[in-house]
Structure 1
Amino acid sequence: MSPFDVNMAVDAGYQVVVPYADVGIDNIAALTQDAIFSRGPKGVAHTGLFIGGRDVVLAADMLLRAREAMVPPFEVSVFADPSGAYTTAAALVAGVEWHLRRSHDTDFEGKRVVVLGGTGPVGVIAGVLAARAGALVSIASSRGLEAAQAASSRINARFNVQTRGADAQLTEALDTTLSRADVVFSTAAAGVQVMNTRQVDQASQLLVAADVNAVPPAGIDGVGVADDGKPFGLHRALGIGALAIGNVKYQVQRRLFERMLASGKPVYLGFEEAFALAREVVAEREAQAV
């Protein structure tokens, strides 16, 4: 659990936050039951478990394991958001979806989505969410096609989606992939540019591009950190920057913590719940504009 998550939990109303490090999945049942049985049936309503770490697949498995360890009426809420990936990916995909509908009267169905930095935590979950929304998702890795295909296979098996691997190591291969993209997600490491001006201008079919990188240089050349649907590049695709995504991510994570505290019964919160809430947050923006 990072300092970011600790602060978010405290700001949402939790009074005591105790991080545990180096927790493996085999520790989950024991830690969960220590927490629930020490509180009593009434006290559990004021207790929650948060799963951090970095492995988004393992976090999903830990969330399931924690839920299985509950012994009603001893049952607490559980929220998983490893590396902030669930809430960040939810914000990214919901923002892109909103701009597709608002500006192009379409959605993810049948769209070719390229996830640059797709083997990282945010990229994995963004790919899963886009695939579930009907997109044709390519998971691209700078470590080459083999690494991308391995990540894609793991994602497909665990989350029951269909994605494919794409080579972002060889420039020619990446150029070809990007030239056919309708949507690009930039989810690579901070300060790393993964799509340059030439590639942007070659992407004649690009509708929307979203970049979670807030550290110069931009992950996608031409997309500013504060952009939220601003046209860029030769073909005037719409760009969504890190601050626009981050604003939605912040609201989603905080509201999920608040939901844990306010709920009269235990809730289990993963990336599906984060995405549903992110859609609500971006829809609120449209309602306010009207």
Structure 2
Amino acid sequence: MERPRILHLFTPGHQASPFDVNMAADAGYQIITPYTDVGIDGVTALTQDAIFSRGPKGVSRTGIFIGGRDALLAADMLERAKSAMFNPFVVSLMADPSGAYTTAAAMLACVEAAMQRHHALGLSGQNILVLGGTGPVGRIAAVLAAQAGASVRVASHSGLEVAQAAAQETGKRFGVALRGVSGAGAQAVRAELAEADVVLACAAAGVQVVSTEDLVFAKRLKVAADVNAVAPEGIAGVGVMDDAKPLAGVEGAVGIGALAVGNVKYQTQHRLLMSMHQGKKAVVLSFPEAFAAAREFLAEQAAQAASEPTA
């Protein structure tokens, strides 16, 4: 009898995400087992229990997924799981806490595609402002943007000190330069908007971080992306379905909404889980791999659109 495909889901939280369970099932995993309240010191023992019990042949049909809500802790847990394995006992690993890695990757890939399509530019050299930048999506979006060569400012509605602490902690963990700035109040937001080529709205659902009045100050803005799908929109004028749609009131700028990003996020997570499930070799998947997968998906979409006959 062929051995079933098993995914072990580690989370430091009190419960696993139904979203992740659904995605794993849709990718073909037959048994999905959550382990809750997993601290980083428990990762090694759990990982070795998973690999030794199946033998060298069974590990190819075994995966470990790391969830939770902390972007930095998930990265550390991924490294701890990786270091617990050795040949031939090696299984595929993936981290995506609260979907932050795949959401941030999708967001940046959408922004990059819009920059190329509408401005013939990439992310390198752009001044990127991340509003809600201390949360998991904001932190990883900031890292990916910095890795792509952008100058990145991380803003917090709680003020400069909180933003600077998050920027320093995140930048040090992933080896990039990030700058913390205040996003507390309209005056602070407008001052930062005035310098931004790209704005990423990564705040909590239902929180508007850029109003119509604020947009008047965004004279350099080229692309605005928002991952908030709950009214009101995170950036005024950016609808949830907008896919690089011209942004009213800002000449030359386009907006990318939450559902446009969400479609790419879904495809990205699915592709990564499928690569774990179907791959012949074990893989380790984090946000750089998610960014590559999101870029690949968008490139395929663009190529397909270009090949279709015009009416």
Q: TM-score w.r.t. structure 1 length? A: 0.99
* Equivalent position of 1:238 in the other structure: 254
User: Hey, what's the Cα distance between the residues in 1 that align with 2:226 and 2:249?
Assistant: 18
How does 1:49-64 map onto structure 2 within 5 Å?
49-64=64-79
* Equivalent position of 2:120 in the other structure: 105
Decide which of 87, 92, 105 is 1:90's aligned counterpart.
105
Name the aligned partner's letter for residue 111 of structure 1: Q
* Equivalent position of 1:116 in the other structure: 131
1:200-228 Cα deviation digits (max 9, x unpaired): 12211100000000000000000000000
* Equivalent position of 2:11 in the other structure: none
* Equivalent position of 1:71 in the other structure: 86
* Equivalent position of 2:150 in the other structure: 135
User: Hey, what's the Cα distance between the residues in 1 that align with 2:30 and 2:121?
Assistant: 44
Greater relative contact order (CA < 8 Å, ≥ 6 in sequence) = 1
1:226-267 Cα deviation digits (max 9, x unpaired): 000100121231000011100000001011111001111110
How does 1:244-259 map onto structure 2 within 5 Å?
244-259=260-275
Give 1:278 deviation, angstroms: 0.5
Give 1:189 deviation, angstroms: 0.3
Give 1:62 deviation, angstroms: 0.8
Give 1:25 deviation, angstroms: 0.6
8 Å CA contact retained: 1:200, 1:233? no
1:117-141 Cα deviation digits (max 9, x unpaired): 0000000000000011111101000
8 Å CA contact retained: 2:157, 2:182? yes
Decide which of 210, 216, 221 is 1:201's aligned counterpart.
216
Decide which of 255, 267, 270 is 2:286's aligned counterpart.
270
Across the aligned residues of Structure 1 and Structure 2, the Cα RMSD in angstroms comes to: 0.8
Q: TM-score w.r.t. structure 2 length? A: 0.92
8 Å CA contact retained: 1:248, 1:278? yes
Name the aligned partner's letter for residue 261 of structure 2: I
* Equivalent position of 1:170 in the other structure: 185
User: Hey, what's the Cα distance between the residues in 2 that align with 1:204 and 1:177?
Assistant: 11
* Equivalent position of 2:197 in the other structure: 182
Name the aligned partner's letter for residue 67 of structure 2: G
Structure 1 stretch displaced more, 69-78 or 206-215: 69-78
1:48 counterpart = 2:48:
no
8 Å CA contact retained: 2:78, 2:93? yes
* Equivalent position of 2:48 in the other structure: 33
SS of match in other structure, 2:85:
coil
* Equivalent position of 2:297 in the other structure: 281
Give 1:54 deviation, angstroms: 0.7
* Structure with a larger share of its residues in helix: 1
1:43-101 Cα deviation digits (max 9, x unpaired): 11111000000111111111111111002111100000000000000000000001101
Name the aligned partner's letter for residue 84 of structure 2: A
8 Å CA contact retained: 1:197, 1:233? no
Name the aligned partner's letter for residue 72 of structure 2: V
SS of match in other structure, 2:34:
coil
User: Hey, what's the Cα distance between the residues in 2 that align with 1:278 and 1:147?
Assistant: 30
Give 1:110 deviation, angstroms: 1.5
User: Hey, what's the Cα distance between the residues in 2 that align with 1:235 and 1:88?
Assistant: 26
User: Hey, what's the Cα distance between the residues in 2 that align with 1:240 and 1:255?
Assistant: 22
Corresponding pairs, count: 290
* Equivalent position of 2:29 in the other structure: 14
Decide which of 172, 194, 197 is 1:157's aligned counterpart.
172
Unaligned runs of 5+ in 2: 1-15, 307-311
Name the aligned partner's letter for residue 60 of structure 2: A
User: Hey, what's the Cα distance between the residues in 2 that align with 1:71 and 1:174?
Assistant: 49
Following TM superposition, where does structure 1 have runs of at least 4 consecutive aligned residues deviating by more than 2 angstroms?
Answer: none
1:162-217 Cα deviation digits (max 9, x unpaired): 11001011321221101111000000000000000011122111000000000000
